[in-house]
Chain A
Amino acid sequence: MEGMSEMHHTMSHMHDVSSSGIVGQALGFAGRLSAELLIVLTSAPVLHVLAALVLLLAIAALLRLLLAGRSSQA
């Protein structure tokens, strides 16, 4: 009986360790990924290229407005 209790204790301890291990690993992975994503999105090369892209799209939007204005006049 004592052996059974000891085994049950060991098994439940193993279960606790494995479940918290998986959850811990998942949380750790998500945390690391979020941090790395933040570093990438706020890094100088990415911000430079995104700024250039926003400028290009602003020019396209301006051209669209100009073209629409010209076609409505004609």
Chain B
Amino acid sequence: MTQQLKRPNIVSVIAHWGAAWAMILALYFGLSAVYGNGPRQETFAAHAYAGLTVLGLVVIRLFLRTLLPWPKEESGGSRIPKLVAEAMHWTLYALMVLTPLTGWIVASKMGCCMAVPGLPNIDRLGSGLSIGGPISATTAYHVHVVFVWTLLALISLHVLAALFHHFVVRDTILIRMIPVLGKRAGATSASHAIANSQTLPAE
């Protein structure tokens, strides 16, 4: 008895895990650049490249999420957890766009002393458009730091929620985001379905 597992497209799954690794690297290089004793310029550049990788990958994910239908979990239950999960995902997307962006503003404003090779100045990107006001490096840096810690807190909740779904609710939300478990997915989802049918009251 196997159950057809509805997976998101493989590019989105790869971009999800790629962004996760890039965020770990960005955090490591960012903390090393601020608090470490190593070469600050190179570490800062590595932090910037990792952050831009996150930005690129989240743009790809948003594009694919708009272009292709995202599989819905067909489990019953209250609407409130689903709304909270949806709000959490869109907040994570917003922070994954805005955090690298504020970092890019800081790097562009501090070109004198913390230049990142190959990184274009963000002020020149939309010079033809006359929207928005000026911003200082200090303001962008303060907001960047607040975004980073908020992002880390939300990612921790995201990981805990994924583990809760896998081990407590016993659904396929975590399995469908891990391609390595593809061979086991059918059997696991079937066992989860059996477990759910035994524990949940019949509707």
What A residues does B108 contact at CB under 8 A?
A: 45
CB within 8 Å of B: which A33-50 residues: 33, 36-37, 39-40, 42-50
A41 to chain B, nearest CB (A): 8
Task: Flag if B133 contacts A63 (CB, 8 Å).
Answer: no
Q: Does B66 contact A (CB under 8 A)?
A: yes
What A residues does B98 contact at CB under 8 A?
A: 40, 46
Task: Flag if A44 contacts B143 (CB, 8 Å).
Answer: no
B106 to chain A, nearest CB (A): 11
Task: Flag if A45 contacts B131 (CB, 8 Å).
Answer: no
What B residues does A17 contact at CB under 8 A?
A: none
Task: Flag if A39 contacts B132 (CB, 8 Å).
Answer: no
Count of A-B contacts with CB under 8 A?
91
What A residues does B62 contact at CB under 8 A?
A: 53, 56-57
What B residues does A67 contact at CB under 8 A?
A: 67
- The interface size bin for chain B is 20 to 34
Q: Does B21 contact A (CB under 8 A)?
A: no
Task: Flag if B126 contacts A43 (CB, 8 Å).
Answer: no
Q: Does B180 contact A (CB under 8 A)?
A: no
Contact (A53, B143) CB under 8 Å given A43-B132, A44-B123: no
Q: Does A61 contact B (CB under 8 A)?
A: yes
Nearest-CB residue, chain A, relative to B122: A45
Measured CA separation A63–B133 after assembly (Å): 33
Task: Flag if B67 contacts A40 (CB, 8 Å).
Answer: no
Nearest-CB residue, chain B, relative to A32: B142
The 7 closest A-B pairs by CB, nearest first: A48-B126, A44-B132, A43-B135, A60-B66, A47-B132, A60-B67, A45-B122
30 contacts between A and B (CB under 8 A): A33-B143, A36-B139, A36-B142, A36-B143, A37-B146, A39-B139, A40-B98, A40-B102, A40-B139, A42-B133, A44-B129, A44-B131, A44-B133, A45-B123, A45-B125, A46-B101, A46-B105, A47-B126, A48-B122, A48-B129, A48-B131, A49-B101, A49-B126, A50-B97, A52-B126, A56-B59, A56-B62, A60-B66, A64-B67, A64-B68
Residues in chain A within 8 A of chain B (CB atoms): 32-33, 36-37, 39-40, 42-53, 56-57, 60-61, 63-64, 67
